[in-house]
A and B are shown apart, each in its own frame.
Chain A
């Protein structure tokens, strides 16, 4: 038996890919810390962050004003952007796998709009969006996201015999339009909260704080672990429910778990950052193009590179028109919409 060469082994996550993606993420985070209206020495910024690690005491030499900018403004913001990007990208990958549809995305499926409606209801009902472990906002967002994703899928699954990737998308657009309309109605009806809701919809990364990071961190951890553990299941689901079942996969249970985890990630991301589209399309497809079609590669690398992508998009959002800021959703849509057209043109019709 001859020794198979590297390309001759099944697609799997290589340490070099992980390391390279991690390096990209760290690079973007460092850039995000260094760039801003006030220029601060990047090396000293790094030391300042080290100083906050428990049991580490080092002196960065930054003035207390600069130290505050790094620790209270920029660092939570880049971390939050990375967490939100990671959750949106991994849930996009998961939706694409579980629905066997290259165009599925938390935004286009209506899941993000459902989460948005959930949060709006909470705000209109008089709860401020604060941090906290069991804040009502992410819970309401989760219910909305899961409901919308299931609804979009149910509509497409029961509409006609010929199904293309566009069918799910069109149902998603219908669900999204309806939920957005309800959400806008609620938002406009209540003059006191219109400003809060509006700011939040366009992306709340502007006012990111450690409490937001603390709010999403558990959701990020749980959904990340669940999705990574189900990445092999996503590979198997790609041959369809019946064949997956003949390979011994409990299809219904696995599908529900994955949709729930992806919707939870979407909901947590929306709850802290508003509606940011296309991350779930851009990142997984780029990973697929670069590293292969196995979800054992796509899910973990989408988490890392999704973080890098959104942290970078946020950097563009706050520097391009500085001192003014562009809403981050505008940045991702400007990159994402053309990208989406490319995916649409190259994806094939699937049946079943």
Chain B
């Protein structure tokens, strides 16, 4: 399996506190890894560090065989694209122009926009069936459409690694499934390594190839969903009372009230 993204012994500190402590993980091509964990476990911090937004206190991040520390910001952006949890949508910006922003690491901040940039933007729009919205303002779209637009921007970046921070937040259940099916299709089509932070355990259990369970900035369990997503683990780390059922595509977590 070819490695797309890996970090080893990664630590991030703020104000003398460890937000991430000795985290190691790998994501291979065409693999979807989900990071789970209770609130404040460090999921978003991990994704920010892996996207280059945070400088780790120690440890190493490698993508496509190169070390982050030795790469220019622009080259990092060509290999790792991130879909933030709450992206900032510039008022009035059209879908087409927003998706084109994903081309920044390719044309550079002074570069002019060329044919390849327009083509990659068009391909991303077509791939996410956003053609009809191309000239609409992003901030006039519904939540589900907007999430597709943000994913389109990340796709236009043409990076082999895609990070998604809570991609289903603020979507209704149907749109949650649409977005995850979409990501699943894209990673097969484009051979992407996908790493996502997820809140919904059942969705994570059905879409991810592997799970990483974070707590207090440390990896407490990692591996196959069947190994990680057990009632015991969920009780211990989430304080949750659940029953776990095996569905046709993975584990289904059902919350159970206790008397």
**A243 contacts B77, C-beta separation under 8 Å:** no
Separation in Å of the B97 CB from the closest CB of chain A? 5
Query: B123's closest neighbor in chain A, by CB?
Result: A1
Contact with A along B90-116 (1 / 0, CB 8 A): 111110110011101101011101000
B48 within 8 A of A: yes
A residues in contact with B89, CB < 8 Å: 239
B1 within 8 A of A: no
Contact with A along B71-103 (1 / 0, CB 8 A): 011111110111010011111111011001110
B122 within 8 A of A: yes
**B73 contacts A248, C-beta separation under 8 Å:** yes
**B93 contacts A229, C-beta separation under 8 Å:** no
B52 within 8 A of A: yes
In the complex with contacts A242-B48, A247-B77, A12-B113 CB distance below 8 A:
yes
Distance of A128 Cα from B157 Cα, bound (Å): 55
**B82 contacts A10, C-beta separation under 8 Å:** no
Could you say which of B90, B109, B111 contacts A238, with CB atoms under 8 Å apart? B90
B residues in contact with A102, CB < 8 Å: 91
Query: A251's closest neighbor in chain B, by CB?
Result: B73
A88 within 8 A of B: no
B residues in contact with A249, CB < 8 Å: 73, 104, 109
**A9 contacts B110, C-beta separation under 8 Å:** no
**B84 contacts A243, C-beta separation under 8 Å:** yes
Count of A interface residues, CB-CB < 8 Å:
38
B residues in contact with A236, CB < 8 Å: 101, 104, 109
Separation in Å of the A256 CB from the closest CB of chain B? 14
Of A233, A235, A242, A246, which is in contact with the most chain B CB atoms at under 10 Å from its CB? Answer: A246
Query: B111's closest neighbor in chain A, by CB?
Result: A232
Distance of A10 Cα from B118 Cα, bound (Å): 8
Distance of A8 Cα from B136 Cα, bound (Å): 10
Query: From residue 51 to 67 of chain B, which have CB atoms closer than 8 A to chain A?
Result: 51-53
Contact with A along B110-138 (1 / 0, CB 8 A): 11010000100110000000000011000
Contact with A along B157-181 (1 / 0, CB 8 A): 1000000000000000000000000
Could you say which of B75, B88, B96 contacts A9, with CB atoms under 8 Å apart? B96
Given contacts A233-B109, A248-B104, 14 further A-B contacts (CB under 8 A): A10-B118, A10-B121, A12-B113, A100-B88, A236-B109, A244-B104, A245-B73, A247-B157, A248-B74, A249-B104, A294-B93, A350-B88, A350-B91, A351-B88
